[in-house]
Structure 1
Amino acid sequence: MTDPGPEIAQRMLALRAHFAHHPVYEQLEGQFERLLSNRRVEVDKGEVREARAIALIGASGSGKSTAIDRLLTKTSGLILPQEGQDHCDVVSLMVPSPATLKSVGRSILEALGRPLRRERTTDAIWELVRGFLKERKVLFLHLDEAQDIARHQTPKEMQSVINTLKSLMQSRSWPVGLILSGMPGLKDLLNYDPQLARRVFPLELPRLSPLGDIGEVRAVVGFYSAEVGIPWEPEATAADVAARLIHAADREFGLLIEMTIDGLEEALHSGASSLSVEHFAAAFSRRSGCIAGLNPFIADEYERIDVRKLLGREGEE
């Protein structure tokens, strides 16, 4: 008998390649394309104007990293860093942890292909950053997990961070736009200085509503199930499963997509002819290691379950 595992794995890989569009992504895409067009025209005309920033904020599992990756890989004509290539439109990196101005500067230099070969002061590192951003004609710098830049900083250090970010956008020789993505703590950084805040276009990925987003969730699950040729279960139970799925994903859109795909994978492996709540329950159990009583697809009072907790057992705090 042929092992169906490899075929199912290929179908899941194709399924995960699909991108579920949502309103915040459309706003992100539109704002970035506008800023990109402005910067390209300014460069072509030899004009130096202050750049702007976009901030995408969302909790863990909200889908912000997927959204940024989609934006940078699918924007038409966008030049990304490649070995042996002098010019790139965007440089993207994750902020190192623990983050200091010096460590962030070093990471940017590495992303630019210009790693430090000897120790330098923070000011000297950022002077190099500005110089190499201009040399490579970088239009935008993306910092992921940007909230870490502001973590555990003294007021003086925080102001230095703010001033450094503003200096990139305000450079008189080569202004660079910023794309900042991160957890809700990023708001503290953005709101620390009004001069920084007014230069930022903020976008936040909202949490799903167990009431208002039922229809959207049903449509999303229906789309993914249709992609693999497995119909969803009867109309009478779809709303209840959608509500449970929203809670199981802790109301985060990105997690909900992951759990939908996990449920479909369970259905394929079981040879089922339709996607049912049992498949979501099995996928959640596999994911969390919880007992049945703490599985939001099985329990009666599922809203009380802490779905982020692994290996949940009755009576545990």
Structure 2
Amino acid sequence: MAKLNAAYVGSDLDARLNYEIDLILDGILEREDAALSGGTAAVGRNAEGRGFALLGESGFGKTRALRRTFVKRPEFAGFGTPECLLVSVTTPSPCTPRLLAETVLAASGYVPTRRLRENEAWDLVRHHLKIADIRIVHIDELQHVVQTGDERVIQKVRDSLKDLMAPGSGVSIIASGLPGCETLIDDDTQIDRRCRVIRLEKLKLSTDLDHVRETVIAFATLGEIACDEVVADEFLARLCHAAQYAFGILVEYVQDAVRVALQSASSALAPQHFAAVYVARTGSRSDNVFLMSAGWNAIDVARAKPFLEPTLPADRTSVPKNWRNA
């Protein structure tokens, strides 16, 4: 299971992410070349930091795809440490501009010795990133900024990101989050022209079934079990529906189904293994997408509520009052 959980099934998104990162790195190299040739790295379009935003609903696999790309790139050797030219942070929730600045500082290896004012914190971010030779900042869960509902906070974050990307700093920004993050980008011309946007779409039965089939086969192979019964188009359509057409959730379904199969000593992945995962995730025992003969595609999976079945010890005859919170 450790091998299974650590596995990653690639997609066309990986090529797009690598292309966008290539553009960012090319801009960094062009600024350095300009400086080495006796010119200035702070003039013209290439003086600005560039970036992109990866937007999609929860469960689409945004964070995992980005982190895998970061780890695989040789330019990001030491990813996860302040020695890497890229740092990755998660937007605090609730978010304030000062907390976001302090989060970036901590990831880049700087620990303030006192509480910083908001403007001090961002000044220090720009100064420290330059000293530490950190060129790219990845900000995940950026929707936490928008979710504050405070336009002043949103604008302050916009202005801070623009300052980071401006000539003189030239930091490149990679953002990821829910589609609501678009307001941070689309509503500001300066950010919009510096950042490209990748919008992830839901899985489509008309175009994505082959990729879903390859995913099931890949994880079954890692688990060393057969999967002939669960790779037909009709079953894969059920799997997509159960996963709300989100690729990240679909991967979790397949991983968990393989776990159920291995725990039951099965030699092949079967519909009942996916059905068990569906019950564990939704609590639905009557309308199971994987077992219904008809009408499964009308089930509103998103409205199903998780449910934990209490397991009583041998010497207990009643359920403790707080078992739901256990």
One fold, TM greater than 0.5? Answer: yes
Alpha-carbon deviations, 1:14-38, whole Å to 9, x = none?
Answer: 1222211111221011210231233
Partner of 1:8: none
Partner of 1:51: 49
Structure-2 separation of matches of 1:95 and 1:224: 32
Structure-2 separation of matches of 1:268 and 1:152: 44
Partner of 1:294: 287
TM-score (norm 1): 0.87
Kindly indicate whether residue 7 of structure 2 is the aligned counterpart of residue 18 of structure 1. yes
Structure-2 separation of matches of 1:217 and 1:82: 31
Alpha-carbon deviations, 1:19-70, whole Å to 9, x = none?
Answer: 1111122101121023123313423542231111110111111000101110
Moved over 3 A (4+): 79-83, 153-157
Where structure 1 has 5 or more consecutive residues not aligned to the other structure, the ranges are 1-11, 313-317
Q: 1:124 to 1:30 in 2, by over 3 A?
A: same
Kindly indicate whether residue 26 of structure 2 is the aligned counterpart of residue 28 of structure 1. no
Structure-2 separation of matches of 1:239 and 1:82: 40
Contact 2:145 2:153 in 1 (8 A): no
Where structure 2 has 5 or more consecutive residues not aligned to the other structure, the ranges are 36-40, 308-326
SS across alignment from 2:228: coil
In the alignment of these two chains, the number of paired residues is: 297
Partner of 2:277: 283
SS across alignment from 2:263: helix
Structure-2 separation of matches of 1:160 and 1:54: 19
Contact 1:208 1:246 in 2 (8 A): yes
Identity over aligned residues, as a percent?
31
SS across alignment from 1:98: coil
Kindly indicate whether residue 86 of structure 2 is the aligned counterpart of residue 90 of structure 1. yes
What do you get for the CA RMSD once the two structures are aligned?
2.1
Kindly indicate whether residue 72 of structure 2 is the aligned counterpart of residue 74 of structure 1. yes
Contact 2:220 2:258 in 1 (8 A): yes
Structure-1 separation of matches of 2:59 and 2:80: 29
Structure-1 separation of matches of 2:267 and 2:210: 23
Kindly indicate whether residue 174 of structure 2 is the aligned counterpart of residue 183 of structure 1. no
Contact 2:70 2:79 in 1 (8 A): no
After superposition, residues 1-317 of structure 1 pair within 5 angstroms as 12-43=1-32, 45-46=34-35, 47-48=41-42, 49-80=47-78, 87-172=83-168, 174-234=169-229, 238-291=232-285, 293-299=286-292, 300-308=294-302, 309-311=304-306
TM-score (norm 2): 0.85
Matched to 2:32, the amino acid is V
